[in-house]
């Protein structure tokens, strides 16, 4: 099975190498801003000419928004715009132009309805201070040295890695992987090199191919499984909050940069900012490590994993829980399970957002009209079942896999809810006429009380 996979390694750059990388990132920003200004100027000129009543065939020729069109315009203008262009790799300019071409396409598709989701705004100019330095290489010498502690990139030369690249090197030596591109990016105060690799993965099967597990994510427990297992939420951000506050106060007492007066940051401010950045990076690394261990274990163990389609954006509107929700990483859990289940020969089913997993009895299927946030146990009035609220939701998620198996390649309604839970006892698996929610290939119906259930876990 061929798949596209990323390998990310920390770098140990010398001061000279860091200046070279920053020069390439700056070149990408210059090309992006120049092309964006050119596109805006042409659009404004054509709009003004239309107000004069000029026909379309006489308007100023439009600038193509494709990467090839933007690159052609840039190559014609770069001797005047950037006379220093021979000092950096052509891939630096290509990085900025490619990002602009993608942003313009997303904006155009969003306006015409071709792109789903939120409306995408028009691209903005990149600031030298606020933009994350990044440059991408797609051609030239990109390789890992035999010692597996150095990589070679075009124009940047030989860069030392902070960790061994033996896993990627072994695949390349076995001819089961091919490097397609490399990106050097600064995350906080650290530099990383990310390789986009085409990997030939061996066919695998989960340890229990016929096992079905429902995963209910939350704040009190990061995940509650239908098997009864509870995965604690380590709350890395909360644990580091006191240290962050102390470092933030120390940073505010130093002389920082001021754009209005042109004041530069002092050395002490830079050292304090570095210390604060290290704490943020450690929190991010701990969170990433925990989520990877959780999702890898689920994908390797169970043949079918059922999760819920949560409205995370709506949950973040609660200012008291927004920090805890983002620290848990609900969306990252689902994203990782999506590709890890495929790698391990399993499948991921996503429950419909309006499916009331918390309000449905996992024993008899009766649905409650309301379930207060403070009720941590689900008590069924029909059959008398008493079970933990989160465990009940995980059991209902696991039961949805049977509907998918019954439907085959077709679709089956989860409960028929499109917005609110109706005031009637009904079996969750019963199909309601005239409803649109369904279990489709690769997804399972969504989830009704998902927001209420997750918010309740903080109390």
Is 390 an annotated catalytic residue?
yes
The SS3 of residue 6 is: strand
Other CB atoms within 10 Å distance of the CB of residue 98: 19
Is 405 an annotated catalytic residue?
no
Question: What's the CA gap between 449 and 438, in Å, rounded?
Answer: 17
Residues 6+ positions from 363 with CB-CB distance below 8 Å:
380, 383, 385, 387
Q: In this structure, are residues 418 and 354 in contact, taking their beta carbons and an 8 Å threshold?
A: yes
Q: In this structure, are residues 364 and 383 in contact, taking their beta carbons and an 8 Å threshold?
A: yes
Which one of 91, 308, 327, 352 is the catalytic residue?
Answer: 308
What is the distance in angstroms between the CA of the first residue and the CA of the last residue of the chain? Answer: 45
Which one of 309, 327, 352, 390 is the catalytic residue?
Answer: 390
User: What one-character DSSP code corresponds to residue 87?
Assistant: G
Which one of 216, 309, 327, 352 is the catalytic residue?
Answer: 216
Q: In this structure, are residues 123 and 103 in contact, taking their beta carbons and an 8 Å threshold?
A: yes
Q: In this structure, are residues 399 and 348 in contact, taking their beta carbons and an 8 Å threshold?
A: no
Task: Provide the CB-side half-sphere exposure for 284 (13 A, CA).
Answer: 10
Question: What's the CA gap between 282 and 7, in Å, rounded?
Answer: 19
Is 216 an annotated catalytic residue?
yes
Residues 6+ positions from 88 with CB-CB distance below 8 Å:
23, 24, 27, 155
In sequence order, what DSSP letters do the residues of 263-317 get, joined into one string?
A: BPPPHHHHHHHHHHHHHHHHHHHHHHHHHHHHHHHHHHHEEEEEEE---HHHHTT
| Bridging pattern class, strands 230-232 and 221-225 | antiparallel
Q: Which two tokens stand for residue 97?
A: 């132009």
In sequence order, what DSSP letters do the residues of 176-218 get, joined into one string?
A: SEEEEEEEEEEETTEEEEEEEEEEEPPP---SEEEEEEEEEE-
Strand partners, 308: 351
Strand partners, 94: none
Per residue, what are the HEC states of 44-62?
HHHHHHHHCCCCHHHCCCC
> Residues with catalytic annotation?
216, 308, 390
């Amino acid at each position: 099975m061929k798949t596209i996979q990323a390998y990310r390694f920390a770098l140990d750059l010398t001061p000279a190498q860091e200046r070279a990388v920053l020069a390439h990132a700056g070149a990408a920003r210059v090309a992006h801003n120049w092309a964006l200004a050119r596109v805006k100027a042409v659009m404004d000129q054509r709009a003004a000419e239309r107000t004069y009543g000029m026909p379309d065939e006489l308007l100023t020729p439009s600038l193509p928004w494709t990467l090839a069109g933007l690159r052609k315009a840039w190559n014609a203008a770069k001797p005047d715009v950037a006379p220093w262009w021979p000092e950096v790799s052509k891939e630096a300019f290509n990085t900025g132009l490619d990002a602009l071409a993608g942003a313009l396409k997303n904006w155009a598709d969003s306006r015409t309805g071709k792109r789903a989701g939120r409306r995408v705004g028009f691209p903005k100019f990149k600031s030298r201070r606020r933009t994350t330095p990044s440059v991408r290489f797609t051609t030239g010498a990109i390789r890992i040295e035999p010692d597996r502690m150095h990589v070679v990139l075009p124009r940047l030369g030989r860069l030392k890695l902070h960790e061994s690249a033996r896993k990627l090197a072994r695949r390349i030596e076995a001819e089961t992987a091919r490097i397609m591109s490399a990106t050097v990016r600064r995350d906080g105060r650290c530099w990383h090199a990310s390789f986009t690799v085409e990997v030939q993965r061996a066919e695998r099967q989960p340890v229990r191919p016929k096992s079905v597990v429902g995963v209910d994510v939350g704040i009190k427990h990061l995940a509650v499984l239908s098997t009864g297992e509870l995965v604690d939420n380590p709350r890395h951000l909360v644990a580091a909050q006191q240290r962050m506050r102390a470092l933030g106060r120390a940073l505010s007492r130093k002389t920082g940069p001021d754009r209005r007066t042109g004041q530069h940051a002092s050395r002490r401010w830079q050292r304090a900012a570095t210390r604060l950045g290290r704490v943020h990076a450690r929190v991010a690394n701990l969170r990433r490590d925990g989520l990877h261990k959780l999702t890898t274990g689920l994908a390797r163990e169970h043949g079918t994993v059922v999760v819920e389609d949560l409205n995370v954006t709506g949950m973040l509107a609660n200012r008291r829980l927004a920090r805890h929700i983002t620290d848990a990483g609900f969306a990252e859990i689902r994203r990782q399970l999506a590709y890890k289940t495929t790698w391990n020969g399993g499948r991921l089913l996503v429950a419909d957002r309006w499916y009331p997993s918390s309000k449905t009895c996992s024993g008899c299927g009766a649905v409650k009209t309301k379930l207060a946030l403070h009720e941590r146990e689900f008590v069924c009035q029909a059959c008398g079942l008493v079970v933990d609220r989160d465990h009940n939701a995980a059991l209902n998620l696991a039961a949805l896999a049977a509907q998918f198996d019954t439907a085959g390649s077709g679709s089956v309604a989860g409960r028929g809810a499109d917005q609110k839970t109706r005031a009637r006892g009904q079996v969750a698996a019963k199909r309601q006429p005239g409803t649109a929610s369904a279990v489709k290939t690769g997804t399972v119906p969504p989830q009704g009380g998902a927001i209420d259930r997750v918010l309740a876990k903080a109390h």
